[in-house]
Structure formats: C-alpha cells, structure tokens
Amino acid sequence: MSLGCHCLYDGGSTHGASSRSNLVDIVALHDVYEDPFEAWTDPESGINWLRDLLPKHVQVGRVVSYGYDSTARSFFGNDAPENIQRMAESLVQELRANRQFAGTLRRPIIFICHGLGGVLLKKSLIYSSTRTAPKVVHLWDQFVSTFAILFFGTPHGKTTASNWLALEKQSHQSQLATSYTLAHGPTSVRENNQLVQSISSDFMPLIKQFHMFFFWEALPTSFKGRSVFIVDSESAVPKLDNTEAAAIYATHFRMVKFSSRESSDYCTVIAALTNYCEKAPEIISHRWGQAETALQQLRASEAWELGGYGFDVHLREPFRHQNIAVYYHFYPPQDITPTFVGRRDKIEVVYTALFPTDQFESCPKRNTFVIFGMGGSGKTQFCSKFAYDYRHKYGRPRSYAESELLTGLRYTAVFTIYAATKETAADSFCRIGKLAGLEPTENAGRHFLSQLTGPWLLIIDNADDPKLELADLYPSGYAAHILVTTRIADFRQQGTLGFLELGGLNEEEALQLLLTKADIPRPWDPSTREAGGLITKALGYLALALIQAGNCIYRRICDLGEYLSLHSATRSTLQQRKSSAAHQVDEDDIFKVVYSAFDVSLEFLLNQRSIKGQDASDLLKIFSFFHFEHIPVQIFSKAFQNRIQGLESISTHRIHSRLVNTVLKRLEPPKMLPEFLKTKGGGLDKYRINRAIAELARLSLVSFDGKYISLHPLVHAWARDNLSNRERDVWVSIALNTLMASISLPMDGTGEDDGDFYRDVLPHLEVCLHEHGDPVSESIKTLGTSYFRFTHFLQPTKMMIIRDQVQNAAKCGWIFSQRGLFEKASIQLQTVKEVLTQTLGEENEKTMTAMLGLAAVYWGLGRLEEAITLQRAVVDTRYRILGPMNEQTLQAMDHLGKSYWLHGLYREALELQKVTAERMRSTIKPDHPNYPHVLAAMDNYGVTLGAWRRYEESLKVHREVLEARKNTLGETHLDTLTTKANFAMALLDLGHVDEARRHMKDVYEERQRQLGKEHPWTLWALCYLAKVYIENGELNAAEDILIWGIAAGVRSLTETHLGVLMGRGELGRVYARQGRLDEAEKLTLETMNLIEKSRGIAHPDCVYVLLKLVQLSGELDSPREKVSIEFNPREARRTGD
C-alpha cells in the first residue's frame, strides 16, 4: 500500500503567474481497504478520473491523492481513538510539507473524501484548527486554506462496523483481510460507532467554515445473498443548513470510479468542483488576511500561549461576546443552483432599494419590495440568490468574505412564506414555528417572527392569487425587509420601497443557461449559438423553461438541433388533453412556454414504456396532491413495508382462515394505489421507488436530498393541471391511500421514529385532505342504520369500501392527536365512531375502541363530560358482556377513573381506580404482554391518592411504576416521562423540593426535545415545573415560564383549556407571593370566570379558585366583594352581595 501524498496532476507550470494565483489544490482521501491510486480508478477502463478526466474539465493547480493505513481496525478497533489521532496528525504534517515543497502554501484546498477517509479528514481539520501557538502555527495552513469538502459515502452518524468488514472480505485486498482476521480475531473490532459520531460532534463548530457537498450511494452492496448500504443516506447526509447533497447511482465501492464525462454522476461532481474553484481564491485570500490580523491581536494580548481558537473568537471575552445572537436561520425559497446566471444588475436594484445607505436601518414601518413577472421567469431563484449573496446583511454587519470566513455567524434570519394558497401560507408559518423550537402551528410561527428584533428578511413567494390579502402575511414586527414574488402586476403597489418586473433573461444570459444546462462544452461555435438562440427565443427566455430544455438535451432525449421539432410535436400531441384539464391556464403565459417544456420531459417518461418511467409518472401525480416541499421518502418505504407485512400475515393464517380470506379477496374492490404498491415481491419493489425518484430528479422535475423530495411550485401546479377532472378524482384518492398505507394505528404497532414521521407527513396530509375532502364520503355519513344492516349481506363489496374509508379516518385522527391537534382529531374520530355505531352497533369491540379513542381526544381538549359519557358507556358494556375481570373492561375502567380525577370527581376516581389497580395486578403478571396497562392504572391511581393528600402512598406507587417503566421502556419513553412527572409532584407534596426540581426539569426538557415547545403535554410539564419553582422560592423564574407558557397554550389550544387555566392559577400564586396582591386578585377573578364558563360553578376547581379569591380579598385592606356559593339541585351560581 502506498502511503503519504502522491501528486496525480500538476498544472501549475502550464499557467501564467496571474492564473496561478487563482488555482486550487484538490486533495483526495480514499476509503478503507483501498490505496491512493486504485481507489479512484475504474477497473474496466483503467481511467483514474482524478488524473485523466478532472484536469480537462476544471482549472486546478494540483491533484494530490493521500494514502493511509486503511483497515477497519484503524477506525473500529479498541485502540481506534489513538490510531485516528495519529493518522490525522500525520495527514496535517505531510500535506503541509508537500505543499511547502511544491510552493503552494496558502493556496485554496478542496478535499474529496470517500467513506471513512472523510472521518479522518474531519479529525485532521479539528487538529489543524487548534495549531495557533508560535511553534506549531505553520500547521494552521490546512484549516485556513480549506474551502470546500466533497464527502462520498462518509458516515456522519450511525454506521455498522460489520459492513466495513464484509466490504473488506470482498475487496481486492482479500489477503489483507485474511491476515488481519487471523492476527486480531473478531473481538478487536467493536460494533459500536460512538467514535465516528463523537468526531462528527467535535467537527460541528467548524462546519460554517466550509462549503460541503454530501453524496450518498443509491445502490446497495451485495454480500452473499444480502444487500446493504454500507452508509445509508441518513448517515451520509446530515441535516445541515447551506450544504448540498446528491445521490451517486452506484454501490459504495464504485461511487468514486468514473470512466467518462458522459456520466450524469460525474457531471454533478464536476459542476460542484467548478463552482467551488471559481469562488475559492478570493475567499481564501481574504481569509488569510483576517487570520493574520487575528494572530497579531492574539499575540499582542499575550493570550497566544493558550492557542486553539476558531475564527469567531472575541479577544476580550472569548465565546461570551455580548452581541452574539444564539441562532442561525437561513431558509430561502430554494437552494441556489450552480447554473444560476445573470441578473446582477437587477439584484443591485433590489439591494439599493433595501440598503440605500449600505446599512440596515430599522424604521417604524414595514419595508417591502415587490418582484413581479410571468411564471417561470425565475423570480423565486432570483430572491434566493439575493438572500444568499446578502445574508451577511441580515446577520453581523460585516463583509461577504468575512461571513464566509468565520465559523459561526452571530445572527442570520431569512425565512420564506409560500403564498400560493392560504393553506401553503399557513403551513409555512407552521414550519417556522417548528424551526424556532415551538409547536408547528400557524400562531406559533407568527409569534416567533413578531419577536425578532434584529435585521431579518422575509420572502413571500408565489403570491399569485389576486384575492390574497398580502398584509395578512406581514409580521407584526418592524425590523424586517419583505420581498414579495408574484405574477399579479397590481401587487406592485404593495412595495413601499419599490418594485421590479422580472421578465425573461437577456439573449446572452439565456443562451449561457441553456448550453450550460445541456452540458455543451465551450467554446460554442456559431452553429451551436444559432441553434441555441432559436430555442431561447421560442421559450421566451424564461429561466425555468430553459433549464428544462437544457436538461432534455443533456439527457440525450434529443440533440440541440432537434429540440424545437420535438417541442412542437409534443405540444401538438398533448394539446387535446390539455383542453380537458382540470385547471385551464393562460395560453400566452405558463401553458405556452413553461408547461410545454415540462411536457417534453413527461412525454419522454411515457415513451420509455418502462416500469421506471411509469412509476416516475405515477409519483409525479401523487406529489401534486401533497405539499410541494419536504415530502419524506419514508411515506413510500413505510407503505411498502406495511403492504408486505399485511400479505405475510395472511399467508400465516390457518387453512380455514386462508379460505375465508380468499373469498373475501374476490369480493374486495381493487385498491386505489400506485402500481409499485400493488406488486408483490421483495427488495426489487422497494428499489422501484428509488429508481422512479432518481428518474424525476435527473429530469429536473424534483429535487431529492436522500430523505425528502421537493418540487418547484410551478412543477407542482403543472403536474396537477395536467390531469383531467376524472384523473384528478382518481389520483387524489391514490395519493391519500398511499399516505394512509404508510400509517400504522397503535394496535398495529409503531416504531421509535414514528413521532418524527408523523410530524413530517402532517403538512402533506392536510394538503391532501383539503383536495380530497374527509376520508369518509358524505354519502356514507348520511346512510341510516337499517341501510347498513342490509348492506352487510347484499353488498359486501360496499361494506369493504366503507371499512377502508373508516380506517383512513381513524388514521387521520390518530396522526392529528399525536401532533396535539385535538380539534382536527375529534372531527375524524367522531365520524369513525358514528359510522361504526351504525354499521356494527355500540356493543361491537371496534366501536368501543373508537369511543375510547375519541374520549382520549376529548380528554386532551378538556371536554371531560363528553369523555366521561363515552368511557362510562364502554365500561358498562364491557362489564356486562366481558365481565368485571376482563382485561379490556379493566382498561376502560382505568381511562374512566383518570377522567374522573381530572374532572374533579375525586371520590369516584379513588373508588374506581383502587378496584381497577387491584384487579389488574391480580390477573396480569409482570411477564404478561399487557402488563404496561397495569403500570398505567397504578400510575393513575397514584395521582388520585395525591389528590386525597395521601402523599406517602402516592409516592410509593409512583416510585414502583417509575422503576418498572425505566427498566422496560427506557428513561426517555413518553410513558416513563409521565410517571416521572407524577413522581416529582409527589416529592413536592412531601417537601422534597430539590429532588422534585431535578426530575421535573428532566421531564420538561425531554418533552421539549421529543414533542416541541408548544405541544400540550410539554406545556403541562411547564406548569408542573412552575409549581416546583414557586415552592423553591424561584418566583421570577416561575413567572417567566408561566407568562410564556400561557401565551403558547392560548395559541395552540384555547383560553378556557384546562392546561391554560392551570397556568393562570399558578401565575396568580406567583403574584400573591411576590406581594402583587392587586394583580393576583385580578388574574384570579378572571380565571374563576373562565373556569365557571368552561366547567361550571359546581366544579371543584371553581370552588378552589373561589376560596383563593376569598383569601386574597382578606389579604387586602378593603375587600372589594364578598363571595358566597349557593347550591340547589338544579343549578349552582355565584352571587355577590
């Protein structure tokens, strides 16, 4: 194996002195079990792309390949930390020496890393970043000079050591693998990957220093009958802002072996390198100037002996500068494409309008600028480019180059509202709320924006509805610049700072975009320019249409000279179909120009007459009924897995059951699903989805980062407009059914990541339901009970349709409830309950399960009387049919007892929960699968004991349940957190304030992490934590979190919700203990009125608040009113004398 630096190409001597100053060094690090030459060489052609191809297409100074000890033991062995540190230090030393002898010190570096070579690079950059002391400052060169990194299949998160060992065994170094295994044995390589993840964590403070492009392997590697991804996309592409990602359609071993410039993957890599090489010299030159100044200041302050700092160190108070903001939000409408050309003059127009004095000036008015023009003219990409170029203006008031230099921007806030419809605008505010760590609700997003005080930018994109009230989307704060993109010329009057009409590109810009996207190499001869000019003119110089046309030429759908003929023929073929489309568009605008360019790509897909092409077309139709952004690919993988599991469960039934299922299968109507979810099979069907997405990405119809799929809003609209009315009805149902197929109801089992998955699918579910309507059709809702009885026997197929619709409604209700959207959940589950009652009867087990689910949602809404009515009905029915000792009866009794407690019926709660807990413990043993229900019943019983002031008993019960749940579910499971909160309250009741504070703080922080800051259960924990703060004398801390929590509760719930009322009551206690008796009395009186309004004067909570009000009145010198309570059998009311 060759170790150290090896120069594959040196082009410095071929360039003049002026050109040499603009060159870049490319440094490559191979993966394990490879060497610095063969790692980058195609085995069939013998082409080493770093040596033979790259210098022909990118102007570089040198290409260097670095070799190191590439065995798994180096990264996963017991001595891995020492080995990686040793190799990282060697890399820094050897690369510095190599560059010194070549005379290229301070030249920009772009690293290309494969697999674990990327882990080694990160460790070396961490090491180099600390080399600032006088004797080792020369080793700082690598850190300061590095501009960009391309990671190919590098694990940044979890990885599996056994996969790397398997890769070793099938590699060309099999002899090495054998000797290694014999020498060290299997125990010298450990399966955990904590070291890899630790290095990634240590690297995080440096990430803003570099441009980064993450590539993941799109094809699995085969090992003796099994296929695995050596590094899956989730690990290969971390969730980082302002980075790029793309798939390489090869296995892990082959993903860095290119043999031709015709390769689409190679072109993607070269495009990125070209972009980085153009930007790097100016930025790195300025960076070195800043670095030298920083070093001089450090020396002058006599702090240099300490060493080890990043570029954003402040010399007076390192890491504690008063002006540093704690967040960085950069969310423009789109990522900037490498092919963006022109518009510089127009960008300057916008800049001059927003920054007339070259400084941000906060004014007591909204500063808006409107950009209008026809669809496809590039308005969205234009705003994204503006935001990217001037993001430093919405952060620290420094230069662009310095913003690129420094490892951590102090403050950047750029947000986007997608204003195509009210629904997309509301969803945008929800996403902003989520980004801010709040609950993903519209009110939360608006609240967060209203609190921003520094300079920030809001882009309102695609405001194309003339009925839209733009002012409704403006934030209430005054420190924002607002850019509006629209096709409505009348909206230009909304621009307080001006407006700009954005038409097509100029001729030269349009030609450059087309030919660059088509990958036609320079120089362009006259015939090429002439043919390109005809295309740009025919497409109206519109950027989106030109990108689509260029991509068709690049994909060899046609050549440059044939495009116009193909375009014309395609438009004629599809013209008739367009006339019946669901949505007619302006012939002179989108339809004639941009849509027709998309049609060429669609026709290419359909003409392939392949499974891949048909799947891609089907996916596009499904996407058109989701939100156009961040569609999780998990929707399809989970749907596929659930379908397979359903088929497997049927095959394992007994013969009699299988015969019944066969008969039912014949009666069942065809599933409205895409073909790739209908086909039976194993891994092949799964990869059909991946190949279809890849095909759409290659045609530039979607973008895909390995986890999420996004569409340009115009592509999204075109995909839907392309459907006739009848097709639209069909495909919106297919889209909803596909989404529902990915959801598992709780009785079906849910995975650990389902909470995050439900959060991701929520906006797509809401868009789909908006287009489809409720899952249960209105015609079914209005059918009577007698009709359903006859339908069972006379129309079994229709009953199956009803069954599927009801199941979909149940899934919708389940998702809404999991995300804390209880109102929406109640609507769906109420429908489920009513239809099941009519079809199956109230005593059917499925009906009773639906009733309990609806009651749980009512419980969350604070509609406890309705919840109790449903739960009591289920208890009575199960008690009569199943018996008092039946597990299902006892579970229903537990739910009812919990509602009794929350509703203040403490006597009924105690009697019922005591019986329930005792019966459950006697019939269900700890090793029984349903034992978690026993723990839940005990936990609820412990809460009610606390309400009766039996604190010691309560604490004992909660301690027992907590230990059991920690052992079986883990410390951070939501059920464990519920018990821990109850345990903390029991400790507080007994005066153990410090211990209660520790536990309750853990619960609050963990619920914030898992559920979000404004989820109802997080706010419940906040209220409990405030109670602890009050008892601990931390009144200011309690006041702060309660004021915030009450406002959040009103935003997410209502002012009369029980949790909000609890918070108001605790805030009144804070005011009273602070001696602010007038404020306490006023707040308590308001709270009492709200409780009386929502729960009734006879409710114990209202009586308790009345008591507190009387006590407060007694504390004041002149009580304002005397309060008495008058009860009679029919009503209870408050009277004032």
Going by pLDDT thresholds of 50, 70 and 90, the confidence category of residue 953 is very high
What are the residues facing 631 on neighbouring strands? Answer: 709
- Residue 1030 phi/psi, 5-degree rounding, is -60, -50
Going by pLDDT thresholds of 50, 70 and 90, the confidence category of residue 193 is low
Least-confidence region, from 158-167, 191-200, 206-215, 1046-1055: 191-200
CATH code of the region 4-290: 3.40.50.1820
Integer Cα distance of 476 and 6 in angstroms = 59
3-state helix/strand/coil string of 872-887: HHHHHHHHHHCCCCCH
Average pLDDT over residues 517-534: 86
Going by pLDDT thresholds of 50, 70 and 90, the confidence category of residue 892 is very high
Residue 338: Cβ within 10 Å count: 16
Give pLDDT, residue 791: 57
CATH topology of domain 327-501: Rossmann fold (3.40.50)
In the chain, what's the furthest Cα-to-Cα distance?
A: 102
pLDDT digits (tens, 9 = 90+) for 1071-1092: 888 888 888 888 878 877 777 7
What does the domain layout of the chain look like in residue ranges? 4-290, 327-501, 507-607, 613-648+674-773
The more confidently predicted of residues 921 and 402 is: 921
Q: Which two tokens stand for residue 782?
A: 């209005």
Coil, helix or strand at residue 417: strand
Strand 480-486 to strand 221-223: parallel, antiparallel, or no bridges (unpaired)? unpaired
* Full-model pTM: 0.58
Give pLDDT, residue 687: 73
What are the residues facing 28 on neighbouring strands? Answer: 65, 112
pLDDT of residue 1068 exceeding 80? yes
Give pLDDT, residue 133: 75
Give pLDDT, residue 564: 82
Least-confidence region, from 49-58, 225-234, 298-307, 858-867: 298-307
Give pLDDT, residue 850: 92
Give pLDDT, residue 865: 87
Integer Cα distance of 673 and 737 in angstroms = 6
Nearest of 887, 890, 908, 892 to residue 847 by alpha carbon? 892
Question: Is the separation of the CB atoms in 429 and 470 below 8 Å?
Answer: no
What letter does residue 632 receive in the DSSP assignment?
A: E
Buried/exposed code over 1093-1127 (b: 16+ C-beta within 10 A; e: otherwise) = ebbebebebbbebbebbeebbeeeeeeeeebeeee
The identity of residue 265, as a single letter, is D
Integer Cα distance of 1126 and 884 in angstroms = 39
- Asked if the domains 4-290 and 327-501 are classified in one and the same CATH topology, the answer is yes
Q: Which two tokens stand for residue 512?
A: 């450059």
Going by pLDDT thresholds of 50, 70 and 90, the confidence category of residue 701 is confident
pLDDT of residue 168 exceeding 70? no
Give pLDDT, residue 262: 83
Give pLDDT, residue 796: 67
Q: Which helix (H) or strand (E) holds 160?
A: none
- Residue 112 phi/psi, 5-degree rounding, is -120, 120
What letter does residue 591 receive in the DSSP assignment?
A: I
pLDDT digits (tens, 9 = 90+) for 97-140: 999 888 899 999 999 999 999 999 999 998 888 887 777 888 88
Average pLDDT over residues 644-653: 55
Question: Is the separation of the CB atoms in 428 and 418 below 8 Å?
Answer: yes
Give pLDDT, residue 148: 96
Least-confidence region, from 732-741, 945-954, 1039-1048: 1039-1048
Nearest of 493, 502, 461, 466 to residue 373 by alpha carbon? 502
Nearest of 3, 216, 169, 85 to residue 694 by alpha carbon? 216
Question: Is the separation of the CB atoms in 147 and 178 below 8 Å?
Answer: no
Q: Who contacts 70 (Cβ-Cβ below 8 Å, separation ≥6)? A: 1, 30, 31, 32, 33, 34, 35, 116
Question: Is the separation of the CB atoms in 252 and 167 below 8 Å?
Answer: yes
Integer Cα distance of 45 and 26 in angstroms = 23
Coil, helix or strand at residue 835: helix
pLDDT digits (tens, 9 = 90+) for 490-499: 888 888 888 9
Whole-number Cα distances in Å, 676 to 237, 644, 687, 726, 1037: 26, 12, 10, 22, 55
The listed range with the strongest mean pLDDT (158-172, 955-969, 1037-1051) is: 955-969
Give pLDDT, residue 594: 63
pLDDT of residue 690 exceeding 80? yes
Going by pLDDT thresholds of 50, 70 and 90, the confidence category of residue 304 is very low
Q: Which two tokens stand for residue 104?
A: 């290229």
Question: Is the separation of the CB atoms in 702 and 696 below 8 Å?
Answer: yes
What are the residues facing 709 on neighbouring strands? Answer: 631, 704
Give the percent of the chain with pLDDT over 70: 78
Residue 430: Cβ within 10 Å count: 21
Going by pLDDT thresholds of 50, 70 and 90, the confidence category of residue 1121 is very low
**What value does the mean pLDDT of the chain take?**
79
Inter-helix orientation angle 655-667/796-818, to 10°: 100
What is the residue-wise DSSP string for 1073-1131?
A: HTT-HHHHHHHHHHHHHHHHHHH-TTSHHHHHHHHHHHHHHHHSSS-S--EEEEE-SS-
The identity of residue 335, as a single letter, is D
Integer Cα distance of 47 and 40 in angstroms = 8
pLDDT of residue 714 exceeding 50? yes
Question: Is the separation of the CB atoms in 699 and 692 below 8 Å?
Answer: no
Going by pLDDT thresholds of 50, 70 and 90, the confidence category of residue 1127 is very low
Going by pLDDT thresholds of 50, 70 and 90, the confidence category of residue 1124 is very low
Whole-number Cα distances in Å, 18 to 15, 55, 141, 274: 8, 19, 22, 19
Give the percent of the chain with pLDDT over 90: 26
Integer Cα distance of 618 and 527 in angstroms = 39
Average pLDDT over residues 194-208: 78
pLDDT of residue 78 exceeding 80? no
Question: Is the separation of the CB atoms in 551 and 700 below 8 Å?
Answer: yes
The identity of residue 738, as a single letter, is T
Integer Cα distance of 1089 and 1112 in angstroms = 16
The identity of residue 487, as a single letter, is R
Least-confidence region, from 211-220, 660-669, 1013-1022: 660-669
Rg (CA), the chain: 33
Question: Is the separation of the CB atoms in 1063 and 1069 below 8 Å?
Answer: no
pLDDT of residue 653 exceeding 90? no
The more confidently predicted of residues 453 and 893 is: 893
Residue 404: Cβ within 10 Å count: 20
pLDDT of residue 198 exceeding 90? no
Average pLDDT over residues 303-326: 34
Residues 213, 195, 73, CA angle at the centre, nearest 5°? 100
Give pLDDT, residue 1134: 35
What is the residue-wise DSSP string for 636-658?
A: HHHHHHHHHHHHHHHHTS-HHHH
Residues 467, 473, 477, CA angle at the centre, nearest 5°? 150
Residues 939, 944, 946, CA angle at the centre, nearest 5°? 95
Integer Cα distance of 41 and 47 in angstroms = 5
Give pLDDT, residue 55: 92
3-state helix/strand/coil string of 210-232: CEEEEEEECCCEEECCEEECCCC
Inter-helix orientation angle 1016-1031/1058-1073, to 10°: 20
- Residue 700 phi/psi, 5-degree rounding, is 60, 25
Q: Which two tokens stand for residue 216?
A: 């993941």
What letter does residue 132 receive in the DSSP assignment?
A: -
Give pLDDT, residue 1131: 39
Question: Is the separation of the CB atoms in 955 and 924 below 8 Å?
Answer: no
Q: What is the dihedral of CA 864, 866, 870, 876, to 10 degrees?
A: 80
pLDDT digits (tens, 9 = 90+) for 28-68: 999 988 889 999 999 889 999 999 999 999 989 999 999 99
The listed range with the strongest mean pLDDT (421-425, 455-459, 683-687, 934-938) is: 934-938
What letter does residue 41 receive in the DSSP assignment?
A: B
Average pLDDT over residues 757-762: 84
Least-confidence region, from 351-365, 473-487, 801-815, 876-890: 351-365
Nearest of 997, 905, 890, 899 to residue 935 by alpha carbon? 890
Average pLDDT over residues 549-564: 82
User: How many helices (H) and strands (E) would you count in the chain?
Assistant: 46, 20
